[in-house]
Structure 1
Amino acid sequence: MKVDQKGHTITIKDTQDDFTSFLMKVTHQYKTYEKHNIIIDLLHDKGLTVNDVKLFLPLSKQHKKAKKSFIVVVSDLDYNAVPDKLTVVPSLLEAHDIIEMEEIERDLGF
């Protein structure tokens, strides 16, 4: 697991290709990251299903209640099958753009 911080955003990258242990690490270390926007980088995990990605839903809901962004980056996925409460995008650039937009919306009071 690799963690990079850039401003108010933390990018957490799975480096071991073991999705289950990565999910457990992120969940157990969540308190460390809860004050930042979070990007979960799963670009190198091949063969992930929508059900795998849905396992991040509880963390996403908790994080969004705290008025922070939580975005999962996955390539090769049926994005229409992902629940609306979970933000999933195909690139890191798009994840950063969404965080920037959500920050502006929060500043404006939406």
Structure 2
Amino acid sequence: MKVDQKAHTVTIRDTQGDLASFLLKVTQQYKTFEKHNIVIDLLMYKELSASDIKLFMPLSKQHRKAKKSFIVVTSDFDFNAVSDKLIVVPSLLEAHDIIEMDEIERDLGF
């Protein structure tokens, strides 16, 4: 697992290629990241199902309750296959753009 922090955002990338153990590590170390916006980088996985992505739903819910952004990044995926409660985008750039928009909305009180 590789963690990159820039300003108010933490990008967490899997380096092992095992989604289940990656999710477990992120969940166990969540307290470390809870005060930041989180981007989960799954670009290394070429084929992910909607059920694989939905495994991140509990973390996303918990994080969004704390008024922080939680975004999953993966390519080659049917983005309509997951609930709108989980934000899934195809690129890191788009993830950071969404976080910026979320930050502006929070600053304005939305």
TM bucket (normalised to shorter chain) is over 0.9
* Structure 2 unaligned blocks of 5 or more: none
State the partner residue of 1:31: 31
Aligned to 1:102: 102
Q: For residue 52 of structure 1, what is the aligned residue in structure 2?
A: 52
Aligned length: 110
Structure 2 length normalisation: TM-score?
A: 0.99
Please state how far the C-alpha of 1:91 moved relative to its aligned partner. Answer: 0.1
Deviation of 1:48 after TM superposition, in Å, equals 1.0
CA distance in 2, matches of 1:23, 1:45: 13
Unaligned runs of 5+ in 1: none
**TM alignment of 1:5-84, pairs within 5 A:** 5-84=5-84
Q: Which residue of 1 aligns with 2:88?
A: 88
- For the residues of structure 2 that align with 1:99 and 1:11, how far apart are their CA atoms? 12
Q: Once the two structures are superposed, what CA deviation does each residue of 1:32-58 show, in whole Å capped at 9, x if it has no partner?
A: 100000000000012111100000000
> What amino acid sits opposite 2:47 in the alignment?
G
Q: Give me the CA root mean square deviation.
A: 0.5
Deviations 1:7-46 (A, max 9, x none): 0000000111111100000011001100000000000012
Secondary structure of the residue that 1:15 maps to in structure 2? coil
TM-score by length of 1: 0.99
Instruction: Please report how far the alpha carbon of residue 96 of structure 1 lies from its aligned counterpart in structure 2 after TM superposition.
Output: 0.1
- Matched residues in 2 for 1:36 and 1:13: separation? 15
Identity %: 77
